[in-house]
Amino acid sequence: MVEFFQTAIIISVLAGMIRIATPLLFAALGELVTERSGVLNLGLEGMLQMGALVGFLVSFQSGNLWVGVLAAGLAGIILGLFMAWMVSTLKLDQVVSGLALNLLSGGITFYWFRVKFSSAGTQMPNIQIFKFGRIPVLSELPYVGEILFSQHWLTYFVFLGAPLVWYFLYKTRIGLQLRSTGENPRAVDMKGLSVTNHQYGALAFGGFMAGLGGSFLTVASAGMFLPEIQAGRGWIAIALVIFGNWVPWRIVVGAIFFGFIEALQLALQAHNVNLPHQLLLALPYILTIIALTAAAGRSREPLHLGFPYKRE
Amino acid sequence: MKLLGYRLEKRVEVSPLWQFLSALLALAIAFAVSAVLIAFAGANVGEAFLAMARGSVGSTSAFAETIVQATPLILTGLAVTVAFRGRLWNIGAEGQFFAGAMAVFWASAILPNLPALAMGMWVFSAAILAGSIWGAIPAFLKARFGSNEVIVTVMMNFIIHFILSYLLSGPWQDPASSFLQTAKFPATANFSRLITGTRIHLGLGIALVTAVVVWFLLWKTTLGYEIRAYGINALASKFKGIPPMRTIILTLAISGAIAGLAGASEVTGLHGRLRLDISTGYGFTGIIVALLGRLHPVGVILAAIVMGALVNGSLAMQITSGVPIAMAFVIRGVVLVALLTVEVLAQYRIRRHIDG
């Protein structure tokens, strides 16, 4: 146990924390914007899964990881628009629509993967994942350089994206309109603005972010695709939005915290600490339930979240 | 909306006939989509469909296998029906299924010498209890703290999966094998024979009885009325003096108990032991079965047979035309999306425009 607290291990856990927080933060920031427009997107899990597959497949076939990442973002946008069609145009129940999107997207992903690769033999294809993007000078700093400035470009992108999302939501006109759509769609409608357009836009953004987050799992992490590779991260991201009280910086803190737990869990496993590893694996899911319970009575939930807006 | 002398008018109530027709239409759409999927896999669409039909309903033995596939789906579909009637989104039937199956092993291991009838009652009671506890935890968290039950039930699925994989890799592992599985249950906890020559097992009987019980519960008891009232308007039911906390917990406990029965019926009737792969997502397919079956026990039974035929037929299709069985999962999703969309249409009817 003593050797577990060596500096090198602590640094690798902290670096892992930031890396593992990345896909969660992508999904959660997208979901934040979506929920601010009044739509509860429970299809996030399916979007991550689709992003993971598309990111992998397109990278594999084009030989270019960035093309894969963009394709994953695009796939996410398509799923987001589809969700918008269900909940904003058809005004279907948002919970059932989200579940439907998950099942559909999960099914398509699984089938697509099997059609592509099950006949190709037992060897599962691999891709060479992204190299870490070391920031000049900063990455040379002791400790901090290793933890913060030797990460993937997608990681820098999402952490810089968080303040941008904040700026967009609170400092721009469209951000204000979007938040109003979630709080009081009738008022938005009376002003002659389109509730539907705002929700389509918000879901497209949410899908884009989830697509990128999903692609991170394959092109920056695993290097291969496995069905269920997203392993509940979509649900955890939804919980993070609630736990973060719909405020960007709190969501960032939440994502980092979950990243830490996961990184710690991996380190404990790797160093053969005498605990059943399955119980460590269950930890993030148990924590999600605790976080949700602790978040009870959060005040910033958009007032009209989850209800279709219908003109009377 | 006016168009060429006709207009769309909102129906006051969607009749049972329309509900039935829209379910059929959703299935038809799903079939059309599966033709595209089969072509995508590079197989002959006609041949694949033929293989699917033969494999699911083409012979007595094929149909018997379809019923075997439908059995757990009837139960998980009923479990979801009870919860959704109360607009409580139980996505945790999968985990509750495992809770029930695990209870069977535990119960039969601590009292291995019971005679068959007592053993049956004992293991099924344990499964009901385990499923209801696994369902009641998210219910309590929702009722007491307002935690979103969708997320909590999903998390509970993951948690029980890891608990089971831990137990199967150590404390509960069959000492005579290196697989992640328990030893065989005692012979007295084996209910695999209901109809000889088929794999249809006691679970079918349990499922059908449960369907009657659920119908009775929902439409003939006070609790059932309270569940439905809570589902239609939670606030109004509260003002009528129906305690929400009790309703939430009871509804999800009953839902979990039924899903637990599904798990118990599968392990006692088919597998005879506990493994990680005893479910192919029955809890999730149960959601589609419940919605396709219009949250009614009769509909659930029919929908379960359709989905059972789909899985069973896809298996045959995979063997003869090489289309991956994963297609059944796509169709699952397509059926649900198509159903939701068609439902919107069913809310309207076309009327001749008189005054214009």
DSSP B352: E
CB contact under 8 A, B337 and A108: no
Q: What is the pLDDT of residue B126?
A: 98
The minimal CB distance from A111 to the residues B162, B330, B340 is found for B330
- In angstroms, rounded to a whole number, what is the distance separating the alpha carbons of residues B41 and B50? 16
B141 touches chain A (CB under 8 A): yes
User: What average pLDDT does this structure show over A145-158?
Assistant: 91
Q: What is the pLDDT of residue B356?
A: 40
**Assembly ipTM:** 0.91
User: What average pLDDT does this structure show over A129-134?
Assistant: 88
Considering chain A, what percentage of its residues have pLDDT values greater than 90?
71
What pLDDT, in 10s, does the model give residues A83-122? 999 999 999 999 999 999 999 999 999 999 988 887 555 5
| Lowest mean pLDDT, pick from B43-47, B309-313, B346-350 | B346-350
Q: Does any domain span residue A7?
A: yes
Contact between B211 and B75 under an 8 Å Cβ cutoff? The reply is no
Q: What is the pLDDT of residue A133?
A: 86
B291 touches chain A (CB under 8 A): yes
CATH number, domain containing residue A36: 1.10.3470
User: What average pLDDT does this structure show over B147-163?
Assistant: 95
Residues of A in contact with B150 (CB under 8 A): 42, 95
| Residue A162 in this model has a pLDDT that exceeds 50 | yes
Q: What is the pLDDT of residue B3?
A: 56
Q: Which of B154, B169, B287, B294 to mutate to test the interface with A (most CBs of A within 10 A)?
A: B154
Domain interval for residue A25: 2-294
Q: Give the model's confidence band at A124: pLDDT under 50 very low, under 70 low, under 90 confident, else very high.
A: confident
Q: Does any domain span residue A213?
A: yes
Q: What is the pLDDT of residue B350?
A: 62
Task: Report residue B274 CA to chain centroid gap.
Answer: 20
Query: Which of B342 and A105 is assigned the larger pLDDT?
Result: A105
Q: Does any domain span residue B167?
A: yes
Is residue B152 packed enough to be buried (19+ CB in 10 Å), middle (13-18) or exposed (0-12)? Answer: buried
Residue reference for tokens 């993971």: A52
* Domain count along chain B: 1
User: What average pLDDT does this structure show over A182-211?
Assistant: 95
Query: Which of B248 and B356 is assigned the larger pLDDT?
Result: B248
Residues of A in contact with B322 (CB under 8 A): 119
Contact between B96 and B260 under an 8 Å Cβ cutoff? The reply is yes
Domain interval for residue B115: 79-292
- Show Cβ contacts of residue A24 under 8 Å, excluding neighbours closer than 6 positions: A213, A233, A236, A237, A240, A255, A258, A259
What pLDDT, in 10s, does the model give residues B47-89? 999 999 999 999 999 999 999 999 999 999 999 999 999 999 9
| Residue B349 in this model has a pLDDT that exceeds 70 | no
What pLDDT, in 10s, does the model give residues B181-229? 999 999 888 888 788 888 999 999 999 999 999 999 999 999 999 999 9
Q: Does any domain span residue B7?
A: no
Q: Does any domain span residue B269?
A: yes
Mean pLDDT, all residues of chain A: 91
Q: Does any domain span residue A222?
A: yes
Q: Does any domain span residue B88?
A: yes
* Domain count along chain A: 1
Q: Does any domain span residue A157?
A: yes
Query: Which of A117 and B120 is assigned the larger pLDDT?
Result: B120
| Residue B239 in this model has a pLDDT that exceeds 90 | no
Q: Does any domain span residue A308?
A: no
Q: What is the pTM of this model?
A: 0.92
